Chain A
Amino acid sequence: MESKISPDGKFLCLRCHQKCHLTGQVSDGKLVGIEGATCIKGRTIPDLVYHPDRVLYPQKRVGEKGSGKWERISWEQAIEEIAAKMNEVTDKYGSETIYLSTGSGQKQIGNQACEIGKKFFDTPQTHWGRYTCIIPQATADFGTAGETLAYEYCAEYSKSKLIMLWGANVDLTCPAQARDIREAVRGGTKLIVVDPRAIPMAKKANLWLKIKPGTDTALGLGMINVIINEELYDKDFVKNWTVGFERLKAHVQEFTPAWAAPITDLSEADIIAAARLYAKTPPATLYARTGAAAQQINSSQNARTMACLIGLCGNVDVPGGNIPYLRTFNAKYFYHSYTTRMSLRASPNKENKFFGFGKYPMMHMISMCDMPTCIRGMHDGRTRAAWIVANNLVVSDQDSRMVFEGLKKLKLVVVSDYFMTPTAEVADYVLPACSYAEIDNIVGTFQEPYDYAIAHRKIIEPQGECWDDRKMVIEVGKKMGRGEVFWKDVEDWLDWRLKYLGKTFDEMCNMPDHKIDFPRSYRRYEKSVPGFGTPSGKFEFYSEILDVIGTEPLPTFRENPESPVSSPEIFKEYPFIYMQVRLAGFQHTEGRQIERQRKMHPDPILEMHPDPAGKLGISDGDWVKLQIAEQKYKDKHISFRVKLVDTMHPETVGAAHGWWFPEKPAPEHGAFDSNINALLSMEHGPYEPLVGNIQQRAIACKVTKA
């Protein structure tokens, strides 16, 4: 079906999770500006759309992989050849050797493209890059409450009496959310910030817990100890809606604030104060992000601890508390793009070849394959083809060199993206992708005071020969000629997502504000059967699912694989703890080639305290080398320009992830120069027990002047 142009220019920014409402200023068919409250990422959408380096035509590799020799081809040729090669891989090696990948770029569109591909290509090997992001939290929350609690939830900051930000630098990651929090704080809402750095919100906080990286579970257990022993918990909720309280109570007796204080580098008094403030200020909302609940081998335990805090204090599904987000959409049978992931599967005799089958059952439940297996598979033949949608995998996944070399070994690599990235450089085909302004879409989102799904049509025609990522997959799938045509085009897919609402995409676009509202209700566990989607039907402090999986059913602290306690010999040579920080203006690996964004951060920065820097002869602005103890890359280093920050923990250094340099020579484009993933090895553990990631932060490192 030929898509129409939106008559009102309204669309959603998908450059981060916030999904800000924007209106494109369109003149003579050209996007000349953006209206609406948004950050630099939203403002620079026109810069992205009309960037001179944007990939505008399908390209086929004509030289060696990575040689940079490309030939422009037609879409007809691209579809024909890719379909033939996908069939060849399927016939020779099995469709389960095809890996579908997306990252945060073309957010939600890439997700949808992968889910469509899962059906057309009949492979279970999909990944959204999220095992280093929300997934430890999502699985921990699922094991506790049967749904998400502390991440993709409906924040009602204006109704919260207390907000607890735990490893979440919202001013940089979700500015719109930060605006709401600041407004609430101005209105009297109390704020606790848990972060090793003096992030902007720390300065507004009633209590800032300057925690040592990687010790979040210890803090949480210390708080639970206080809340239980001082009987500050919500007795009604605990009695009527939870299981495992007595086991949790017994479990935490040894984890006193005095126990947690030296582990976390916090004072006992601060831990007690945090516990009392959180418990005595209902309704409270706890928002946690990757700083605490991802990228570590303890991530799911950190998240479990937070979930238990939320449950103990009865902040579950109450106004101003932690409101399960997807429940709203599920209850109305709306296919949120996240829930399609759990709904669409390959055929059974392919699903049982899922990477991580049997080992990571919760990952299988949410349909995200084990990435270490997938990447090792590029070298040993278990992975034969990759279709990568807006995912700069070489930069964003661990063991960058192994990914880079692995992609070169595959029979077929298809990349759809806006720009030539280090990942695209080793592809066989690079396909030009539409931007957010050039597609039709439905987005499920949350805002106060209610949730909704919003539909929008493209506001401008695609540049060059750019296609919607979903269309690429559908057209190749149809050309492959294997079995069922699940969706005939993008509009058919969008109609399918609305099938239980009895509407079509076109009808939704013609509704007022293109929107379907989902009025918010609370304490839904009181009305539903069962109350929670857990084996017991209750909120589980003792998680039966985690028990049967064979991991700790009660929140448990483990020392990081590298810490002054677990590996003192490593810390003699590598005396700093590396942590990851976020940068305003960039979403992960994106935006480095957009001038207005790059101006904010032209160089990769390493934040460190002036005292240790001074002892090493390092001044503000100096370039330094950073090395870690990983044997595989012990002779390698990454480089940063130092920014001295006197509020940093002296034993900690922090750098942003995702650095690569479009201006540096192809094919690597500096992918290994300032990227922690270039120093990490995926080949050995320890691995996070629920989701399988390796430790990516809270790692021992040393810093020397370049």
Chain B
Amino acid sequence: MPEDLIDRIINLEPKDVEAKLPALLGEIENNGVEESMNEYPGVLLQIFLKLEESDLVRIGVDSPELFDRLTKIVWEGVSKRSEGVASYLDEVVRDLPRKKFVVNFETFDTPLKLHFVVSDGKFSGDVGMTSFREQDCRWFADTQTILALMRGEFRQTMLFTEKLFFEGAFGLLGKKAVPLCALLGSLLM
């Protein structure tokens, strides 16, 4: 893998993201997700930030498979890294009868859908959403905001300024998802 992966992401022109992202993701996959994250700390976070600079909605609509591919990479990496925070994750779900917490993400403006699950001290996820009855919380917003949430950026005022909503058991479980998004952001580093 070329040494300048992060530089190449940072220096990528926003207009070139859609064309060049597949190759960058391919490099990460070929090198191994965990290995890439260790070798290039913050590489996934940089991809998120670059996507947010680009014409995100067009990319999401034209190339939804890119988001799905990125999502799979993210969850593979996060899942491995979350082993170090197992006790915290256990704490998060301790008061829930199912000892499990399922969060769906969905957007207004692109086909992006994904979910994560916290259970047995693990943080895992995948593309697509779980069923309504299985979910504990569903966040939906524009794609830009969903990506910002996934890298840990959340302020309560976003609920009023970003047209962001969460749905789930009720607001309490929405609030439970907030620190998990922050954790997700830190695990992407």
Proximity string of chain B (164-183) to chain A, C-beta cutoff 8 Å, 1 when within and 0 when not = 01011111110100000000
Decide yes or no whether B156 CB sits under 8 A from chain A: yes
Interface residues of A in 370-429 (CB under 8 A from B): none
Please determine whether B168 and A484 come into contact, CB atoms closer than 8 angstroms. Answer: no
A521 CB to nearest B CB, Å: 15
Please determine whether B96 and A533 come into contact, CB atoms closer than 8 angstroms. Answer: no
Interface residues of B in 97-129 (CB under 8 A from A): 97, 106-108
With A119-B132, A535-B156 in contact, do A330 and B165 touch (Cβ < 8 Å)?
Answer: no
A50 CB to nearest B CB, Å: 38
With A330-B171, A484-B131, A501-B97 in contact, do A535 and B163 touch (Cβ < 8 Å)?
Answer: no
Specify which chain A residues have a CB less than 8 angstroms from the CB of B132 in the assembled complex: 119, 484, 486
**CA–CA, A100 and B161, complex, Å:** 26
Please determine whether A339 and B131 come into contact, CB atoms closer than 8 angstroms. Answer: no
Proximity string of chain A (319-354) to chain B, C-beta cutoff 8 Å, 1 when within and 0 when not = 000000000001101010001101111011101100
**CA–CA, A330 and B95, complex, Å:** 12
Please determine whether A352 and B163 come into contact, CB atoms closer than 8 angstroms. Answer: yes
Please determine whether A333 and B107 come into contact, CB atoms closer than 8 angstroms. Answer: no
B138's nearest neighbour on chain A, judged by CB, is: A345
Please determine whether B96 and A500 come into contact, CB atoms closer than 8 angstroms. Answer: yes
**CA–CA, A486 and B165, complex, Å:** 20
Specify which chain B residues have a CB less than 8 angstroms from the CB of A500 in the assembled complex: 96-97, 169
B173's nearest neighbour on chain A, judged by CB, is: A333
**CA–CA, A357 and B108, complex, Å:** 13
Please determine whether A502 and B97 come into contact, CB atoms closer than 8 angstroms. Answer: yes
**CA–CA, A526 and B159, complex, Å:** 25
Contact for B160 among A330, A342, A533, A549, CB less than 8 A: A549
Please determine whether B160 and A351 come into contact, CB atoms closer than 8 angstroms. Answer: no
Specify which chain A residues have a CB less than 8 angstroms from the CB of B168 in the assembled complex: 343
Decide yes or no whether A145 CB sits under 8 A from chain B: no
Q: Which of B156, B168, B175 has the most CB of A within 10 A?
A: B156
Interface residues of A in 480-495 (CB under 8 A from B): 484, 486
Proximity string of chain B (143-173) to chain A, C-beta cutoff 8 Å, 1 when within and 0 when not = 0000000000001110111010101111111
Decide yes or no whether A460 CB sits under 8 A from chain B: no
Interface residues of A in 356-379 (CB under 8 A from B): 357-358, 361-362, 364-365
Decide yes or no whether B15 CB sits under 8 A from chain A: no
Q: Which of A343, A357, A549 has the most CB of B within 10 A?
A: A343
B94 CB to nearest A CB, Å: 13
With A486-B132, A496-B133, A500-B97 in contact, do A362 and B160 touch (Cβ < 8 Å)?
Answer: yes
Specify which chain A residues have a CB less than 8 angstroms from the CB of B108 in the assembled complex: 348-349, 351-352
**CA–CA, A496 and B131, complex, Å:** 14
Please determine whether A545 and B160 come into contact, CB atoms closer than 8 angstroms. Answer: yes
Specify which chain B residues have a CB less than 8 angstroms from the CB of A347 in the assembled complex: 106
Decide yes or no whether A673 CB sits under 8 A from chain B: no
A499 CB to nearest B CB, Å: 8
A323 CB to nearest B CB, Å: 17
Decide yes or no whether B40 CB sits under 8 A from chain A: no
Specify which chain B residues have a CB less than 8 angstroms from the CB of A358 in the assembled complex: 163
Q: How many residues of A contact B (CB 8 A)?
A: 36
Interface residues of A in 667-705 (CB under 8 A from B): none
Specify which chain A residues have a CB less than 8 angstroms from the CB of B169 in the assembled complex: 333, 335, 343, 499-500
Specify which chain A residues have a CB less than 8 angstroms from the CB of B107 in the assembled complex: 348
Proximity string of chain A (537-574) to chain B, C-beta cutoff 8 Å, 1 when within and 0 when not = 00000001100110000000000000000000000000
Please determine whether A348 and B140 come into contact, CB atoms closer than 8 angstroms. Answer: yes
Please determine whether A361 and B160 come into contact, CB atoms closer than 8 angstroms. Answer: yes
Specify which chain B residues have a CB less than 8 angstroms from the CB of A548 in the assembled complex: 157, 160-161
Specify which chain B residues have a CB less than 8 angstroms from the CB of A38 in the assembled complex: none
With A348-B107, A533-B175 in contact, do A342 and B159 touch (Cβ < 8 Å)?
Answer: no
Please determine whether B170 and A342 come into contact, CB atoms closer than 8 angstroms. Answer: yes
Specify which chain B residues have a CB less than 8 angstroms from the CB of A549 in the assembled complex: 160
B159's nearest neighbour on chain A, judged by CB, is: A365
**CA–CA, A348 and B140, complex, Å:** 7
Specify which chain B residues have a CB less than 8 angstroms from the CB of A333 in the assembled complex: 95-97, 169-170, 172-173
With A119-B132, A348-B140, A351-B108 in contact, do A343 and B167 touch (Cβ < 8 Å)?
Answer: yes
Specify which chain B residues have a CB less than 8 angstroms from the CB of A352 in the assembled complex: 108, 163
**CA–CA, A344 and B155, complex, Å:** 22
Decide yes or no whether A534 CB sits under 8 A from chain B: yes
B143 CB to nearest A CB, Å: 10
**CA–CA, A585 and B168, complex, Å:** 38
Please determine whether A335 and B170 come into contact, CB atoms closer than 8 angstroms. Answer: yes
**CA–CA, A357 and B107, complex, Å:** 16
Please determine whether B140 and A365 come into contact, CB atoms closer than 8 angstroms. Answer: no
A530's nearest neighbour on chain B, judged by CB, is: B175
**CA–CA, A534 and B173, complex, Å:** 15
Specify which chain B residues have a CB less than 8 angstroms from the CB of A348 in the assembled complex: 106-108, 140
Please determine whether B157 and A544 come into contact, CB atoms closer than 8 angstroms. Answer: yes
A-B contact list, 15 entries, CB within 8 Å: A333-B97, A333-B172, A333-B173, A345-B165, A348-B107, A348-B108, A351-B108, A351-B140, A352-B163, A357-B163, A365-B159, A365-B160, A365-B165, A535-B155, A535-B156
Taking A486-B132, A501-B97 as given, write out 10 further A-B residue pairs in contact, using a Cβ cutoff of 8 Å, ordered by the A residue number. A333-B169, A333-B172, A333-B173, A343-B168, A343-B170, A348-B108, A361-B160, A365-B159, A500-B169, A549-B160
* 9 tightest Cβ-Cβ pairs between the two chains A and B: A361-B160, A339-B170, A348-B140, A330-B172, A535-B156, A502-B97, A348-B108, A345-B167, A548-B157
Query: Residues on B close to A: CB < 8 A?
Result: 95-97, 106-108, 131-133, 138, 140, 155-157, 159-161, 163, 165, 167-173, 175
